[in-house]
């Protein structure tokens, strides 16, 4: 049984993939390893990869170079399959254009229906996201519990 969530299309295209749900904003420069797509910035999703995923996030954060860093993911084969955002801005729109990936804007309440691991279909033409399968239903708490702890005192740049 699937559920379709209606929003607003930002960039056209249709793709299916596994959802990676971020509760926070998605950065550009320094946010991820451009070779692997692994998120490296301080985030509950640190260590997860955006490569091939349908990435759900609040909005883009950072400078106008945001789309350039996301385009670098495409050149290395580590780009996401689609963007689904709660609040669109010019960075998200330009990022979707340079990557040529579907993008949809959903409100916060509707985006909360999707969990990491769900299999979804994003339709940028119609502005919809269809939840096809419940997937692994990995929660943010599970992501945090699975990460090794770090002594921040030994990492002064992460304070």
Q: What is the pLDDT along the chain (159 residues), one digit of tens a residue?
A: 689 999 999 999 999 999 999 888 777 777 888 899 888 888 888 889 999 999 998 878 777 777 778 788 888 999 999 999 998 888 888 888 888 999 999 987 666 789 999 999 999 999 999 999 886 655 444 445 545 444 434 434 443
Residue positions annotated with a catalytic role: 63
Say if 148 falls within a structural domain.
Answer: no
Given this model, what pLDDT does residue 66 score?
74
Say if 79 falls within a structural domain.
Answer: yes
Predicted TM-score (pTM) of this structure: 0.79
Given this model, what pLDDT does residue 6 score?
94
Cα-based distances in Å from 102 to 20, 44, 154: 15, 25, 41
Say if 126 falls within a structural domain.
Answer: yes
Q: Total structural domains in the chain?
A: 1
Say if 15 falls within a structural domain.
Answer: yes
CATH of the domain at 10: 3.50.30.10
Say if 154 falls within a structural domain.
Answer: no
Query: DSSP H helical segments within 2-107, as ranges?
Result: 66-75, 90-99
Say if 147 falls within a structural domain.
Answer: no
Say if 123 falls within a structural domain.
Answer: yes
Given this model, what pLDDT does residue 62 score?
73
What three-state secondary structure class fits 132?
Answer: strand
Given this model, what pLDDT does residue 158 score?
41
- List for the chain the helix, strand, coil content (%; round to 5): 25, 30, 50
**Domain coverage including residue 107:** 3-141
Say if 153 falls within a structural domain.
Answer: no
């Amino acid at each position: 049984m699937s559920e379709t969530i209606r929003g607003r299309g930002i960039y056209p295209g249709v793709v299916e993939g596994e959802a990676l749900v971020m509760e926070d904003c998605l950065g550009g420069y320094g946010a991820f390893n451009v070779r692997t797509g692994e998120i490296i910035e301080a985030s509950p999703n640190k260590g997860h990869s955006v490569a091939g995923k349908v990435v759900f996030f609040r909005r883009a954060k950072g400078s106008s170079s945001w789309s350039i860093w996301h385009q670098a993911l495409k050149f290395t084969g580590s780009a996401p399959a689609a963007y689904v955002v709660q609040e669109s801005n010019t960075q998200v729109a330009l990022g979707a254009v340079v990557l040529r990936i579907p993008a949809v804007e959903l409100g916060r309440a509707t985006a909360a229906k999707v969990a990491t691991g769900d299999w979804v279909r994003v339709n940028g033409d119609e502005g919809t996201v269809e939840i096809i399968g419940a997937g692994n239903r990995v929660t943010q708490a599970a992501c945090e519990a699975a990460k090794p702890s770090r002594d921040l005192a030994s990492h002064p740049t992460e304070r």
